[in-house]
Structure 1
Amino acid sequence: MVKLRDLDPSASPLDYYGSELRRLREAAGLSQSQLGSCVFVTASLIGQVETTRRVPTRDFSERVDAALGTDGLFSRLVGLVLRSQLPTWFQAYAEMEARASFISTYQCQLVYGLLQTEPYARAVLGVEHQERLDEMVAARMERQRILGRSSPPALLVVLDEAALHRRVGGPAVMRDQLAHLLGFRDSPWLNLQVLPFAVGQHAAVMGSFNLLRFGDDPDLFYSESYDTPHMTANPQVIRERSLGYARLQGAALSREDSATLIARVMEERYGQPEPDGRAVA
């Protein structure tokens, strides 16, 4: 059993979650072992969450809500907890992204975070964040929940062809990732275009960027270098980058031709899947 320690609920969303879990578990007259049995985890894991040594998942939170009859409390809290696991410099953007009505993005190296599969995200984040990998992957997957809303943001994606060829996590991971992209082919709210190598120089040779549009608030431009974000509502920047994005869309393949290219790269570069799900070239 994890040794109990005092928590300051105001210290962070994770501390608040842990203190509420302990308080409501004890109010229900359950031990850590008894609650663990109810939600199919160990008593140790319950203790680790209560003492902030483990970050809860959404599935765990939903099961705890059902076991304790807490009317969705932990399911609501877990979104804040997972967002707090994002890098500090990225949290402000993630909050704005979750509120946006329109998201336009150009990605020159990797698949956009909102469209990444979990194995792909794990491979990307694992390069430099092994010590907090589970938490960061969970936080990235949590960001994607905005796409499952009844009224999701309109998402316009221009993906450089380089992202299709960059082997992240191995052939099987890449095949599943490209298949995931193809799954959005008929989505009414997502437009995915590939900017082919043949275009050469283009309006975003300086790198990836995002444009966010809101119902009432000013538009935002976001870009980043190594752990250094840049976010601005400067009208001149928005004007220039919006025009640049329109030019990217004009230079990119159509939605249909982009899907054809993704499918071709998936088959030719990452092979056919074996019966166990692995890909063979």
Structure 2
Amino acid sequence: MTNIRELDPSASPLDYYGAELRRFREAAGLTLKQLGACVFCTGSLIGQIETARKVATKDFTLRVDTALDTEGALMRIWRLVMRSQLPAWFQPYADMEARATHIYGFEAQLVPGLLQAEAYARAVLGAFDQDKLDERVAARMERHRTLERDDPPLFWAVMSEAVLHQEIGGREVMRNQLAHLLSFRDNHWVNVQILPFSAGAHAGLNGSFTALRFDDDPDVVYDEGYEPRMSANPEELKARSLRYDHLQAAALSVGKSAELIARVMEERYGEQREADGSGLA
């Protein structure tokens, strides 16, 4: 007889997902193999997911929810699973980010997480650690739902021009990432400004940071770095707000920023340059 692993649904969101998947499958009277045939995967894969040995993908969850007629129950649990894949120190920030009404940030080296295309995010997250990379990338992509909700926050991102030139993942990845940034041009809830090299010394030299504003809760500032931290100290918030105002003033307008992004995308990462090596050095 097959040794069926007993799960404790309260042990983790991943165990909870597996236990519910097994419960829905058995209620439908399906074997692992039969459900696998319904959702175009192997019974072995479903068994690994049911026993919390593998994290389900979003696509898998959507197919299983439909096949088992769960009314979206597994997708709701899947979002908890994705949140649990974030680093423990980052989860409190992610929770607040999802509730914020205004998000203002400055990035010195990377495209902000909320604006990262999947291939770019994979290159960033996998730079030094390949462990559970698929799950960590999926968790970052799930954060994008913040900008897709019915009442999205106003998101204003100022990025150093260096972000456009720092080649992450190769030319094709960068070309697609810059195209992704340009896709927000007609979204009045998302505004991107580029701080040009010509700005010289600027108010963001101390590093990247993000400020979150809420309707009913105190504002929060989040500092990135080797030791990320959050603060709701009014004096610190006031100082960061002033710093951000100076960064916005020194940055190119939203329209001029889009023109610069498009120019760098073509000249530095364009298909012609990739083919013959011509273009910017």
* TM-score clears 0.5: yes
Q: Is the 8 A contact 1:120 1:177 kept in 2?
A: yes
Q: Is the 8 A contact 1:9 1:15 kept in 2?
A: yes
CA gap of 1:176–1:3, structure 2 versus 1, over 3 A, is farther
Q: Name 1:236's counterpart in structure 2.
A: 235
Q: Name 1:251's counterpart in structure 2.
A: 250
| Separation in 2, partners of 1:141, 1:224 | 19
Where 1:88 maps in the other structure, the secondary structure is: coil
Q: Name 1:45's counterpart in structure 2.
A: 45
Structure 1, unpaired ranges of 5+: none
The yes-or-no answer on 1:146 pairing with 2:156 is no
| Separation in 1, partners of 2:56, 2:228 | 27
* 1:184-263 map, 5 Å: 184-226=184-226, 228-263=227-262
Q: Is the 8 A contact 1:271 1:280 kept in 2?
A: no
Q: Is the 8 A contact 1:19 1:50 kept in 2?
A: yes
Q: Is the 8 A contact 1:172 1:279 kept in 2?
A: no
Shift of 1:4: 2.9
CA gap of 1:158–1:141, structure 2 versus 1, over 3 A, is same
| Separation in 2, partners of 1:160, 1:111 | 9
Q: Name 1:168's counterpart in structure 2.
A: 168
CA gap of 1:214–1:257, structure 2 versus 1, over 3 A, is same
Q: Is the 8 A contact 1:210 1:222 kept in 2?
A: yes
Q: Name 1:13's counterpart in structure 2.
A: 13
| Separation in 1, partners of 2:244, 2:3 | 54
Where 1:131 maps in the other structure, the secondary structure is: coil
* 1:84-123 map, 5 Å: 84-123=84-123
Where 2:33 maps in the other structure, the secondary structure is: helix
Where 1:192 maps in the other structure, the secondary structure is: strand
- Runs of 4+ aligned residues of structure 1 deviating over 4 Å after TM superposition are 278-281
Structure 2, unpaired ranges of 5+: none
Deviates more, 1:83-92 or 1:50-59: 50-59
* 1:64-83 map, 5 Å: 64-83=64-83
Q: Is the 8 A contact 1:175 1:279 kept in 2?
A: no
CA gap of 1:245–1:4, structure 2 versus 1, over 3 A, is same
Shift of 1:273: 6.5
| Separation in 2, partners of 1:167, 1:28 | 49
> Deviations along 1:157-180, whole A, 9 cap, x unmatched?
001101000000000000000011
Normalization by structure 1: what TM-score? Answer: 0.95
Where 1:231 maps in the other structure, the secondary structure is: strand
Aligned pair count reads 276
Normalization by structure 2: what TM-score? Answer: 0.95
Shift of 1:36: 1.0
- Root mean square deviation, CA, Å: 1.5
Deviates more, 1:41-50 or 1:264-273: 264-273
> Deviations along 1:172-193, whole A, 9 cap, x unmatched?
0000000110111121111110
> Deviations along 1:39-97, whole A, 9 cap, x unmatched?
11111110111111111122211111111111110111111100100111111110110
Shift of 1:217: 0.4
Q: Is the 8 A contact 1:270 1:280 kept in 2?
A: no
